């Protein structure tokens, strides 16, 4: 189940139903074109399976409700993804999920959590993002579900989205680290504080440095847990590093800081699953963001300078 022990299943989820602009549905293809699978195989990881979850285009669906846009479609896809991730872990393989917008985390985290729950194990969660992703439908300024997944996996918000996999509360807030945030809505801020998760803003990184902050993150997700999941949103990176994302916020994590965080995660050998989201090739420059994100994924899987 951990990164040095098992083959990889790469699961693409070409979805942009959760966002307000098109393009993240091409994220999985961009990473494949950048040579992600080949790079991981060169590191010694066998790719046992590559598959995609079928996702409808927004243009083929009825007009969405305003408070939770395309909820029914996202719910259905998330249930399918939850089961695929659960079955991957049950087969002693490692799920690497490629998005798609961040609403896919409803399914990914639910699948990992379902497996850990069955095994009576404790899961840690690293959520790398410029945003809090802690909106709920009644408070969301946009109604875009990609701004809600962390709230739902913690058990807040829409009952159906929070109950994917058949239970609420996928992870203990004491073992959740939200990292790189710099753009949070007013009511979302209140829910973040209420939830009790550990938040590491860009100010924390600026003041203490990524090395120290990374150690604090690992004390949250890798102490008294049996492994951790990484949910990596490309917009957590600074736009100069990763222009190919649809919700850019200046002043983000730089390239070396991101590598260091993921290298330190790899050193633990306790990452059990990973997803990468919000890569938008339409907004990219010659697929450079995908190439850089591919290299960051390699760091998470243990690639070192020497």
pLDDT at 219: 98
Candidates 122, 301, 131; CA nearest to 223 is: 122
The pLDDT tens digits for 124-156 are 999 999 999 999 999 999 999 999 999 999 999
Active site residue 131: yes
Where residue 227 falls (left for φ over 0; alpha for ψ -120 to 50; beta otherwise) is left
Which residues, at least 6 apart from 277, have a Cβ–Cβ distance to it below 8 Å?
24, 27, 99, 100, 101, 102, 104, 105, 146, 231, 232, 233, 234
Active site residue 204: no
Q: Which of 9, 16, 73, 102 is catalytic?
A: 102
pLDDT at 2: 54
Which letter, b or e, does each residue of 134-168 get, where b requires 16 or more Cβ atoms within 10 Å of its Cβ? bbbbebbeebbbbbbbbbbbbbbbbeebbebbeee
The stretch 53-70 carries a mean pLDDT of 86
pLDDT at 20: 82
Q: Which of 9, 139, 146, 152 is catalytic?
A: 146
Could you tell me whether strands 47-52 and 124-128 are parallel, antiparallel, or unpaired per DSSP bridges?
Answer: unpaired
Which residues, at least 6 apart from 208, have a Cβ–Cβ distance to it below 8 Å?
216
pLDDT at 4: 57
Active site residue 198: no
Q: Which of 25, 79, 185, 278 is catalytic?
A: 278
The second-level CATH assignment, the architecture, of 8-300 is 3-Layer(aba) Sandwich (3.40)
Candidates 133, 90, 145, 129; CA nearest to 112 is: 90
The stretch 181-187 carries a mean pLDDT of 95
CA–CA distance from 289 to each of 85, 174, 180, 233 (Å)?
Answer: 26, 32, 18, 12
Active site residue 278: yes
pLDDT at 221: 98
Q: Which of 73, 204, 233, 284 is catalytic?
A: 233
Active site residue 185: no
User: Which residue's entry shows tokens 């802690």?
Assistant: 134
Q: Which of 25, 79, 101, 129 is catalytic?
A: 129
End-to-end, the C-alpha distance of the chain in Å comes to: 25
Are 147 and 106 in contact by the 8 Å Cβ rule? The answer is: no
Candidates 270, 172, 258; CA nearest to 218 is: 270
Q: Which of 25, 73, 79, 133 is catalytic?
A: 133
Q: Which residues partner with 8 through β-bridges?
A: 47, 94
Active site residue 129: yes
Domain ranges within the chain, ordered by starting residue = 8-300
Active site residue 41: no
> Rounded to whole angstroms, how far apart are CA atoms 22 and 268?
36
Place 106 in a pLDDT band, splitting at 50, 70 and 90.
very high
Candidates 240, 203, 234; CA nearest to 297 is: 234
Give the global pTM: 0.96
> Rounded to whole angstroms, how far apart are CA atoms 238 and 296?
14
Q: Which range among 60-69, 116-125, 148-157 shows the weakest confidence by mean pLDDT? A: 60-69
């Amino acid at each position: 189940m951990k990164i040095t022990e098992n083959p990889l299943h790469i699961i693409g989820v070409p979805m942009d139903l959760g966002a307000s602009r098109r393009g993240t549905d091409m994220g999985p293809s961009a990473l494949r074109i950048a040579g992600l699978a080949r790079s991981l195989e060169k590191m010694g990881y066998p790719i046992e399976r590559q598959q995609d979850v079928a996702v409808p285009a927004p243009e083929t669906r009825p007009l969405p409700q305003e408070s939770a846009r395309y909820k029914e479609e996202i719910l259905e896809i998330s249930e399918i993804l939850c089961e695929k991730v659960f079955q991957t872990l049950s087969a002693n393989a490692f799920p690497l999920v490629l998005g798609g917008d961040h609403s896919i985390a409803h399914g990914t985290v639910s699948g990992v959590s379902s497996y850990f729950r069955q095994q009576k194990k404790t899961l840690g969660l690293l959520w790398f993002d410029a945003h809090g992703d802690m909106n709920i439908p009644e408070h969301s300024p946009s109604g875009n579900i990609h701004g809600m997944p962390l709230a739902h996996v913690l058990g807040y918000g829409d009952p159906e989205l929070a109950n994917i996999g058949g239970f609420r509360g996928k992870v203990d807030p004491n073992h959740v680290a939200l990292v790189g945030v710099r753009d949070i809505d007013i009511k979302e801020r209140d829910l973040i504080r209420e939830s009790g998760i550990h938040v590491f803003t860009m100010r924390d990184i600026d003041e203490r440095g990524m090395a120290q902050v990374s150690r604090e993150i690992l004390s949250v997700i890798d102490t008294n847990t049996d492994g951790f999941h990484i949910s990596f949103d490309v917009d957590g990176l600074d736009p100069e590093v990763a222009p190919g994302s649809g919700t850019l916020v200046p002043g983000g994590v730089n390239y070396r800081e991101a590598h260091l965080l993921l290298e330190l995660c790899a050193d633990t050998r306790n990452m059990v699953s990973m997803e990468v989201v919000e890569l938008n090739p339409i907004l990219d420059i010659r697929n450079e963001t995908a190439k850089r994100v591919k290299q960051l994924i390699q760091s998470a899987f243990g690639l070192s300078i020497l």
